Amino acid sequence: MIETAFEKTFGAAPEVVVRAPGRVNLIGEHTDYNDGFVLPAAIDRYIWFAGRARRDRTVRVRALDFNDAAEFSLDAIEKDAAHSWSNYLRGVAKFLEANGHRLSGADLVFGGDVPREAGLSSSAAVEVGATIFWQRLVKLRLEPVEAVKLARRSENEFVGVPSGIMDQFISALGRRDHALFLDCRDLKYRHVPLRGEVKLVVCNSGVKRALAHSEYEVRVKQCRQAVEELRAAGLPVNSLRDVKLGDLITKGKALDKVALKRASHVVTENDRVREAVKVLEQNDLSYFGKLMNESHKSLRYDYEVSSKELDVLVEIAQKHPGVLGARMTGAGFGGCTVNLVERDAAEAFAEAVRNGYQEALGLRAEVYVCEASDGAMARV
Ligand code: GLA
């Protein structure tokens, strides 16, 4: 498919083909930028890239999903407001070159089936895919974690979104039938098998994450504020990762009320992730699901990043007999829920969600029955 699109656009066969997956986060939300723990999985929805090298320093890109094209020179990489989809690719090229890797010009097409603006990290998939594309094209080999950091820099410093490292990490390093347990402080990680007969079912609320950017920044600041207030109260912590539940009980009075709620979410969420990994390793999926449900409550009431639509989707899900656990996933304020569903119940569950959501809110939910998949890779 992507090869055909390339040939149609540029009249030759591509030299490099890459795919990079989207992701769901199973548990550990809004913990990554607090040096905490996350447990995402890559999903079997991908952004595909096909391209060839050029002799000059020009990059010509066609975005299939936007039915649009853009062109830039590697010698003057600037943000482009008129083709903002291209900034994810520009940023990656810019930081590769800034790190001393000489690129060549390229003709490139990309596109895929990771829903956009749905909180499934289509932008991280573009960044990670672009990183691998360039590596293949000019025969570079970056350490995987270095490539992840570079992709994230592109998001933070070029595109200008102050996100954590989770999305790029899982798109690059996901593994089929596994979740990935990541310590966002030292970036140590391990893959945890998803052994049971389960599917990861993603329900898209269809609500674009309008507040996601501004409120995300507010949450990042509130977490910093909580850390400062705890330090002022004599607790020697560098981030919410260092805070224990007991600290919040003894020092909570020193915190602004809102900051205390935000801190409570992060502290309890980190505990939940560690527990979730333990029970997943014991294959206790029903306990794992309970932790997912708890996570949603905490995001809804303490972190306040859920929405009416997400809450309705989660309520419908949690009533369904085949569901082990349900919660919002990603930054919040719209986007998707993730549901751990018994394999044989997945289709009936999808139907129940579509009908229930329509009945409750008069809205259409898209449902994607997914499996945990491998991280980004090139095909030569
Ligand atoms: C977005 C960010 C991630 C993470 C999540 C919330 O997806 O890109 O880094 O902070 O929100 O867990």
Mutate to test the pocket of ligand 1, among 25, 163, 239 (most ligand atoms within 8 A of CB): 163
Measured in Å, residue 25 CA sits from the centre of ligand 1 at 9
Mean pLDDT of 306-317: 98
Cβ–ligand 1 contact at 338 (below 6 Å): no
Are 291 and 275 in contact, with CB atoms under 8 Å apart? yes
Q: What is the mean pLDDT of the chain?
A: 96
pLDDT at 89 over 90: yes
Catalytic residue among 167, 186, 256, 311: 167
Question: What is the bridge-based pairing of β-strands 58-63 and 106-112?
Answer: parallel
d(CA 160, CA 341): 36
Which amino acid type is present at position 176?
R
Beta-carbon contacts of 221 under 8 Å, excluding residues fewer than 6 positions away, are none
Provide the 8-state DSSP code for 32.
Answer: G
Mutate to test the pocket of ligand 1, among 30, 35, 169 (most ligand atoms within 8 A of CB): 30
Cβ–ligand 1 contact at 164 (below 6 Å): yes
Mutate to test the pocket of ligand 1, among 26, 29, 148, 166 (most ligand atoms within 8 A of CB): 166
What's the pLDDT score for residue 212?
Answer: 73
Question: pLDDT over 70 for what percent of the chain?
Answer: 99
pLDDT digits (tens, 9 = 90+) for 176-211: 999 999 999 999 999 999 987 999 999 999 998 766
d(CA 60, CA 15): 15
Measured in Å, residue 28 CA sits from the centre of ligand 1 at 10
- Hey, whose CA ends up nearest to atom 8 of ligand 1? 163
d(CA 318, CA 129): 35
What's the pLDDT score for residue 211?
Answer: 67
What's the pLDDT score for residue 213?
Answer: 81
Q: Residue 74: which of 116, 102, 115, 32 has the closest Cα? A: 102
Measured in Å, residue 332 CA sits from the centre of ligand 1 at 9
Measured in Å, residue 57 CA sits from the centre of ligand 1 at 34
Cβ–ligand 1 contact at 24 (below 6 Å): no
Cβ–ligand 1 contact at 331 (below 6 Å): yes
- Hey, whose CA ends up nearest to atom 9 of ligand 1? 164
Alpha helices in 302-345 (DSSP H): 308-319
pLDDT digits (tens, 9 = 90+) for 90-133: 999 999 999 999 999 999 999 999 999 899 999 999 999 999 99
Please state the atom number of ligand 1 nearest to the C-alpha of residue 38.
12
Measured in Å, residue 221 CA sits from the centre of ligand 1 at 14
Measured in Å, residue 120 CA sits from the centre of ligand 1 at 10
Cβ–ligand 1 contact at 30 (below 6 Å): yes
pLDDT at 316 over 80: yes
d(CA 111, CA 311): 31
Mean pLDDT of 239-251: 96
Please state the atom number of ligand 1 nearest to the C-alpha of residue 124.
8
The whole model's pTM is what? Answer: 0.97
Cβ–ligand 1 contact at 309 (below 6 Å): no
Beta-carbon contacts of 327 under 8 Å, excluding residues fewer than 6 positions away, are 27, 29, 292, 293, 295, 296, 299, 314, 337, 338
Beta-strand (E) ranges in 231-315? none
Mean pLDDT of 12-21: 98
What's the pLDDT score for residue 209?
Answer: 72
Measured in Å, residue 89 CA sits from the centre of ligand 1 at 20
What's the pLDDT score for residue 379?
Answer: 87
Q: Quick one: tokens of 60?
A: 């010509």
What's the pLDDT score for residue 380?
Answer: 56
- CA 239 to chain centroid, in Å, comes to 21
Place of tokens 């369904």: 320
What's the pLDDT score for residue 232?
Answer: 96
- CA 57 to chain centroid, in Å, comes to 31
Catalytic residue check, 311: no
pLDDT at 335 over 80: yes
d(CA 234, CA 251): 9
pLDDT digits (tens, 9 = 90+) for 150-176: 999 999 999 999 999 999 999 999 999
d(CA 184, CA 104): 33
Please state the atom number of ligand 1 nearest to the C-alpha of residue 33.
10
